[in-house]
Amino acid sequence: MKKLLGGLLSCILGGWLLTACTSDDDLQQIPEGKGYVKLALNTNTGFQTKAVDESYYSKKENYTVTITKSGESVPVQQWKYNEIPEFTELANGTYTMSAICGDSTKAVYTDDLCVLGYKSFTVKNDSVNVEVACKPNSARVNIAFDEKMDEYFSEYEVRIKTAAQNGSVYPWEKETTGPVYFKVKQNESVEMTIKLTPKSGIGAETSIKKSYTLSPADAMKMTLTPVVGSGNLTITIEIDETVIEHPVDIEVPSDWV
């Protein structure tokens, strides 16, 4: 009797375990021709500035996430980040996940930013984890004019030109308060022209044209300072910690020396 009861119990437990295992496998089985994708964001902006509220751009719920299939323009899926399901089912193929916070069409940002990221991935009857690192599409520029500039020049400005501006320039005038963010490509050559108008009767307008390489999330500070000595006027351009002197074609009055 004991052997009979033991055998029956083993059969019952064995049958239950077999049913449970089969059920788990069914739940984990990926449909033929499809896969599952789990999405994530890294939203470190890379800037440290009070010009804009960067905390806004670090919050994932402010991002729009889009999945687009390779070769197609219409999104397969699009959500606000906090609406993304834990897993997304997609047909086999190659896709791009993009995430964006802000307006990517602007060339110059003064009181806001655009932070975005892209990543391609492939689904092939499997489960894929996709994480996109987001960063600003712009470089931060800050230009400072030494107070002595007013002693020698009636007007002065730096005209900044990037590819995204489509031929126009941004005039950084002496009243401009920075920083200002300029949409740039990776390792873009950004043209900056310093326009100097000496005070009346001491010379003609002078231009100094320079180019600097900037990439998204780069930060650059330029400081302009006039220096008078031996009858000559020189403008020093300090980029971060590097100082370059540029002579200015102005006849300096004797009482300036």
On the question of pLDDT at 50 being above 60, the answer is: no
pLDDT for the residue 172: 97
Q: Is residue 223 within 8 Å of residue 245, measured between CB atoms?
A: no
pLDDT value of residue 2 = 42
Distance CA 246, CA 248 (A): 6
The string of DSSP letters for 160-202 reads EE-GGGTT--EEEETT--S-EEEE--TTEEEEEEEEEEEPTTS
- Residue 250's pLDDT band (boundaries 50, 70, 90)? low
% pLDDT > 70, the chain: 75
The pLDDT value recorded for residue 255 is 57
Q: How confident is the model at residue 137 (pLDDT cuts 50, 70, 90)?
A: very high
Q: 230 pLDDT exceeds 80?
A: no
pLDDT value of residue 35:
77
> In the chain, where are the structural domains located?
32-136, 138-256
Where does the pLDDT of residue 118 fall: very low under 50, low under 70, confident under 90, or very high at 90 and above? Answer: very high
Query: Which of 52, 207, 60 is closest to 133 using CA atoms?
Result: 60
Range name among 58-67, 120-129, 175-184, 197-206 with the lowest pLDDT average = 197-206
Say if CB 206 and CB 221 are below 8 A apart. no
81-114 per-residue burial string, b: 16 or more CB within 10 A, e: under 16: beebeeebebeebebbbbbbbbeeebbbbeeebb
105 near 79, Cβ under 8 Å? no
CATH class of residue range 32-136:
mainly beta
Give the pLDDT band (50/70/90) at residue 253. low
Across 15-19, 34-38, 50-54, 175-179, the highest mean pLDDT is recorded for: 175-179
Please give the Cα distance from 148 to 251 (Å, whole number): 17
